[in-house]
């Protein structure tokens, strides 16, 4: 791999200067102008990029693998890829991207298989070549592509992401930074209704701005403006909506150099409070900002960083008037450079030049003033890929010493910190110092282990195989640290990358890697001063498109099993995985698989917390189920219980005996005994006391008032998570005996957070269980309940043919929970009887598109376990159900996380329409629902919604073309209780 990356750098050094931007598409579907080639074909590979869903590339046979490759003609910053197969199936494929067509990074990995036909995936990286490789399908279909679409731009990045934001006011939980966090679920809201209100981003240095975009939370008529400034004093209007603009998403192309960009909201027709789900500023950052390097000479107090600090009062200066003098700036990684600027301290006639290099050996001339030029500041548009920039000053007419007040390099980094925002797990964590703090890009926050015990580890999952150039580990403290860094492709076999187990003095350690890895692991063995294991920042520099969303934010379709209650063995479940995956399920949930009778609450009360119930299999069967599911790209969740036991459990019998005999034991401390009775207290003659049991006398509650049970809870969760589970649900933690948010966090959710895993608190409503209790998946009780008496919000709206009341319900719960950083999970309201298939399908269509983790099964008996289909539904209705589930799992705009914006129809009391976006905003879907009992022509207003008004959308349920969008007034014809789900640009 080393030779591959070395070759990559050489290629970029040679051809970087000739990849001119002239005659390129600026943004959009770049595949349309790309060159397509394929491993084999029955039809021309170009038919996969011709913009038509009626033509396709198909491989010449069913042999696999087969590939389809696009040369985009130049480097672009990519945001998403879409692949449409000619048929629906369970497909195994991956998408890779490359700078040079030789060294490839994986950007989409579906190689374990996923059901669907149209797949939409986000990515973020700068590439020229994109390759689809199909490795098979469950159905044996030939590789194909109706359309392989690649979206990106050559107009720069969203510069606002991660930059400091401020605002006139803000609500708690809706702070300014949430308007530029690359998460459309979160947003800034002003702290009061009064207007005007403003939101401002500081780009850190003057930047080349090419576009601005403002996304409000809701569709309305707004009065607002966006301005730019170099000094935070004088402002230029970039987008003027002061007269009022109707819509939700507003963007403009601009051209200028600004450091500050400000949104001012002046009015809202509906009196909405000022908001911004994403405030975007596109362009090219000053890559030299804060960078250092080397120089021919440096006067004391005028070091190189004074030329890159964006402060006009400071500068680099040579030590004398002798010439030539030079200064080299290291950008820290390979970058696509678009412009260079040099500002001297004094106005004079200078002879100088600026050059670029990949390796400090071969240099390319970028700005040539060697013949002499009079002034102070010079700039030059350039094209090329460089890491090092050199300023050489040859002379000054007035004898000024060589200097640089500001040296700026504008462009796009090709080598990025791939670790930013990726999944991070650890051996332990101190509360408030989670592993995610090591990859949040904040130089102040950090991960810290829970104790001084060693060794401790921190592991990053980049999500995809990436081309890694180097790793930078920064500890919190200067010390002599003993540690090592390793890399892995599969999380199993590890390669040593940096060995400092013998000890090394310092705080930040840098290691060149030049390899392809997905996982990076830091293991800390100790420090001379006894500092706890920590990482202030673990950077992974390289080329790739890492995953920054968690699986539960992007996945869909959960099958809940009650194995003990229905006598379903784990091996039987394993045998059903292929069929489940083909129907669109992405996960299974096992209800209480541990040992214990199934007669109460489907067996939630355990008699042995650490074994599999013999009626359903063995621990080996459990491990096999995990292995089989993971091999198919499916997740396995467990519904466990640290709230109560079964009264026949040996450890409860021992606890009673020890209480009667007044003998200390941990088992006795696990339960709550006292001499007096009361509500939920039950007499035990064996214990000689009353015991507490919230849910009934045969399931005694565990006692979180004692340290003994808190410690056992941590042990219990780690035992099951260490088996390889992908998430853990807990039964009604809000009513655990003695529980508080602090106790819950320290002994339940902080343990789960160290795994960076899905965590559900059953029975807990509202966003507070995300912000205060640290769960990340909340059951949505505002739409339906989970078992018990029938309840539904959607079915009455369907029966009443009026969905108008749904919006505020979704805003108050689903949207509030995703804004807090969690997701919701929701099943249909099966307990509401007598609902015909067409109405039930409309309910399911609403649920699978609004943004929730969809469970087809909820209570103990939605469907009998041996019934793989809904018995009284036609095959056509069955297929409609599976199409909805497959679409949600395949197209990320429909995922549980991400924004949901209600769109106006001709009558919102009869129809419901909304725009969905992926978490990062790269993908969009248009959902239109007919809540009427008769066929209807429904018109949706798309003006300023971020949906292009000249396009042919893709029908995500059929894979074909949807009705063409030709104007802001878009009409579709839907049958009674019908729906359409469209992928849109």
Element (H, E) at 952: none
What long-range pairs does 689-696 form, CB within 8 A, spacing at least 24? 689/659, 689/660, 691/656, 692/737, 693/644, 694/643, 694/644, 694/735, 694/737, 695/601, 695/644, 696/600
**Given the DSSP bridges, would you call strands 608-612 and 777-779 parallel, antiparallel or unpaired?**
unpaired
CATH code of the region 158-286: 2.60.120.260
Whether 292 has a pLDDT exceeding 50, the answer reads yes
Q: What is the pLDDT of residues 427-469, one digit of tens each?
A: 999 999 999 999 999 989 999 999 999 999 999 999 999 999 9
CA distance 91 to 85: 9
Ranges assigned E (strand) in 664-790: 673-674, 681-684, 689-692, 727-730, 758-761, 777-779
Element (H, E) at 825: strand 823-826
- Show the 3-state SS of 548-588: CCCHHHHCCCEEEECHHHHCCCHHHHHHCHHHHHHHCCCEE
Q: Quick one: angle between helices 837-850 and 875-890, nearest 10?
A: 0
CA distance 49 to 36: 7
Average pLDDT over residues 710-727: 98
CA distance 119 to 956: 9
Whether 655 has a pLDDT exceeding 60, the answer reads yes
Token pair, residue 201, equals 């981003």
pLDDT at 16: 38
Q: What is the pLDDT of residues 866-904, one digit of tens each?
A: 455 677 889 999 999 999 999 999 999 999 999 999 999
pLDDT at 891: 98
- Calculate the average pLDDT of the chain: 95
pLDDT at 30: 98
CA distance 595 to 720: 13
pLDDT at 443: 87
Fold of 419-543: Jelly Rolls (2.60.120)
pLDDT at 12: 44
Intrachain domains 293-414 and 419-543 with the same fold: yes
Q: What percent of the chain has pLDDT over 70?
A: 96
**pLDDT-derived band of residue 41, with 50, 70 and 90 as boundaries?**
confident
Which residue in this structure is represented by tokens 């590789």? 143
Whether 42 has a pLDDT exceeding 90, the answer reads no
Decide: 655 and 709 in contact? Cβ < 8 Å: no
> Architecture of domain 22-153 in CATH?
Sandwich (2.60)
**pLDDT-derived band of residue 139, with 50, 70 and 90 as boundaries?**
very high
pLDDT at 17: 33
pLDDT at 791: 86
Q: What is the pLDDT of residues 572-629, one digit of tens each?
A: 999 999 999 999 999 999 999 999 999 888 899 999 999 999 999 999 999 999 999 9
Fold of 644-701: Oligo-1,6-glucosidase; domain 2 (3.90.400)
pLDDT at 18: 29
CATH code of the region 553-640: 3.30.750.90
Domain ranges within the chain, ordered by starting residue: 22-153, 158-286, 293-414, 419-543, 553-640, 644-701
Average pLDDT over residues 660-675: 98
Q: What is the pLDDT of residues 225-263, one digit of tens each?
A: 999 999 999 999 999 999 999 999 999 999 999 999 999
Distance of CA 46 to the CA centre of its chain: 32
CATH code of the region 293-414: 2.60.120.260
What is the value of pTM for the model shown?
0.95
Average pLDDT over residues 505-509: 98
Token pair, residue 695, equals 């849910």
**C-alpha separations of 192 from 29, 167, 271 in Å:** 41, 12, 11
Distance of CA 781 to the CA centre of its chain: 25
pLDDT at 24: 44
Average pLDDT over residues 294-322: 97
Q: What is the pLDDT of residues 778-828, one digit of tens each?
A: 999 999 887 667 789 999 999 999 999 999 999 999 999 999 999 999 999
Token pair, residue 43, equals 């039809």
Average pLDDT over residues 339-349: 98
Whether 21 has a pLDDT exceeding 60, the answer reads no
């Amino acid at each position: 791999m080393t030779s591959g990356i070395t070759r990559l750098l050489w290629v970029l050094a040679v051809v970087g200067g000739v990849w001119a931007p002239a005659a390129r598409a600026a943004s959009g579907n770049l595949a349309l102008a790309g060159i397509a080639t394929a491993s084999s074909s029955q039809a021309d590979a170009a038919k996969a990029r011709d913009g038509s869903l009626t033509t396709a590339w198909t491989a010449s046979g069913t042999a696999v693998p087969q590939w389809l490759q696009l040369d985009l003609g130049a480097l672009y910053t990519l945001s998403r890829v879409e692949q449409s197969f000619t048929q629906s199936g369970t497909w195994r494929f991956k998408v890779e991207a490359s700078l040079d067509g030789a060294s490839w990074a994986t950007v989409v990995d579906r190689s374990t298989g996923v059901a669907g036909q149209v797949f939409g995936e986000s990515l973020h990286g700068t590439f020229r070549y994109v390759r689809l490789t199909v490795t098979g399908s469950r159905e044996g279909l030939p590789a194909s592509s109706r359309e392989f679409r690649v979206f990106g731009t050559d107009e720069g990045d969203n510069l606002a992401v991660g930059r400091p934001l401020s605002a006139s006011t803000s609500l708690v939980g809706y702070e300014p930074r949430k308007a530029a966090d690359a998460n459309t679920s979160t947003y800034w809201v002003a702290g009061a209704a009064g207007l005007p209100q403003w939101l401002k981003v500081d780009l850190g240095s003057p930047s080349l701005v090419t576009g601005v975009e403002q996304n409000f939370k809701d569709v309305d008529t707004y009065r607002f403006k966006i301005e730019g400034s170099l000094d935070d004093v004088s402002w230029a209007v970039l987008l003027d909506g002061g007269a009022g603009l109707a819509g939700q998403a507003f963007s403009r192309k601009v051209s200028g150099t600004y450091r500050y960009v400000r949104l001012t909201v002046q009015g809202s027709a509906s009196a909405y409070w000022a908001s911004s789900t994403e405030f975007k500023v596109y362009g090219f950052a000053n890559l030299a900002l804060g960078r250092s390097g080397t120089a021919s000479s440096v006067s004391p107090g005028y070091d190189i960083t004074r030329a890159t600090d964006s402060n006009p009062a400071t500068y680099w200066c040579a030590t004398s008037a002798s010439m030539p003098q030079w200064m080299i700036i290291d950008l820290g990684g390979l970058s696509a450079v678009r412009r260079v600027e040099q500002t001297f301290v004094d106005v004079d006639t200078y002879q100088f030049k600026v050059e670029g290099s990949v390796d400090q050996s071969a240099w390319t001339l970028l700005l040539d003033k060697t013949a002499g030029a009079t002034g102070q500041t010079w700039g030059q548009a350039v094209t090329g890929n460089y890491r090092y920039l050199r300023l050489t000053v040859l002379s000054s007419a007035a004898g000024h010493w060589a200097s640089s007040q500001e040296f700026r390099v504008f462009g796009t980094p090709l080598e990025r910190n791939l670790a930013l925002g990726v999944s991070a797990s650890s051996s332990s964590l101190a509360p408030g110092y989670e592993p995610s703090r090591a990859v949040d890009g904040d130089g102040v926050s950090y991960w810290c282990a829970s104790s001084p015990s060693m060794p401790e580890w921190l592991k990053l999952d980049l999500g995809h195989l990436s081309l890694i150039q180097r790793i930078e580990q920064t500890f919190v403290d200067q010390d002599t640290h003993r540690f090592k860094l390793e890399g892995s492709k599969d999380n199993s076999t590890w390669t040593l990358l940096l060995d400092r187990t013998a000890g090394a003095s310092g705080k930040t350690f840098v290691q060149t890697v030049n390899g392809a890895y997905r996982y990076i692991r830091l293991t800390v063995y100790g420090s001379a001063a006894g500092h706890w294991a920590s990482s202030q920042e673990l950077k992974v520099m390289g080329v790739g498109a890492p995953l920054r969303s968690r699986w539960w934010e992007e996945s869909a379709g959960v099958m809940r099993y009650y194995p003990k209650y229905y006598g379903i063995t784990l091996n039987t479940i394993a045998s059903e995985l292929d069929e489940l995956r083909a129907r669109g399920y992405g996960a299974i949930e096992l209800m209480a698989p541990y040992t214990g009778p199934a007669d109460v609450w489907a067996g939630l009360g355990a008699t042995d917390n650490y074994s599999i119930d013999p009626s359903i299999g063995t621990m080996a069967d459990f491990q096999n189920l995990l292995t089989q599911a993971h091999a198919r790209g499916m997740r396995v969740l467990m519904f466990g219980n640290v709230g109560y036991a079964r009264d026949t459990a040996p450890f409860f019998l021992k606890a009673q005996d020890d209480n009667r005999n007044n003998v200390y034991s941990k088992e006795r401390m696990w339960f709550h005994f006292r001499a007096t009775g009361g509500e939920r207290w039950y007499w035990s003659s064996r214990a000689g006391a009353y015991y507490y049991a919230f849910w009934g006398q045969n399931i005694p509650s565990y006692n979180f008032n004692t340290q003994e049970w808190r410690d056992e809870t941590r042990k219990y969760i780690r035992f099951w998570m260490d088996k390889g589970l992908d998430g853990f649900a807990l039964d009604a933690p809000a009513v655990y005996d003695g529980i508080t948010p602090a106790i819950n966090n320290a002994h339940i959710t902080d343990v789960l957070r160290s795994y960076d895993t899905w965590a559900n608190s059953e029975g807990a409503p509202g966003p507070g269980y995300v912000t205060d209790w640290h769960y990340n998946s909340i059951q949505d009780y505002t739409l339906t309940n989970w078992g018990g008496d029938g309840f539904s919000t959607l079915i009455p709206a369907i029966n009443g043919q009026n969905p108008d009341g749904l919006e505020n319900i979704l805003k108050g719960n689903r949207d509030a929970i995703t804004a807090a950083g969690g997701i919701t999970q929701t099943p249909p309201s099966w307990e509401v009887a007598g609902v015909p298939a067409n109405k039930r399908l409309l309910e399911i269509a609403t649920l699978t598109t609004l943004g929730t983790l969809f469970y087809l099964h909820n209570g103990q008996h939605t469907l009998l376990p041996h019934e793989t289909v809904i018995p009284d539904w036609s095959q056509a209705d069955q297929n409609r159900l599976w199409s909805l589930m497959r679409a949600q799992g395949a197209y990320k705009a429909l995922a549980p996380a991400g924004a949901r914006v209600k769109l106006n129809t001709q009558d919102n009391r009869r129809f419901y329409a909304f725009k969905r976006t992926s978490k990062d905003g790269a993908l969009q879907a248009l959902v239109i629902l007919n809540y009427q009992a008769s066929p209807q022509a429904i018109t949706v207003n798309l003006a300023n919604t971020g949906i292009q008004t000249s396009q042919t959308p893709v029908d995500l349920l059929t894979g074909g073309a949807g009705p063409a969008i030709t104007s802001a007034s878009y009409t579709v014809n839907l049958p009674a209780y019908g729906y359409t789900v469209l992928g849109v640009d």
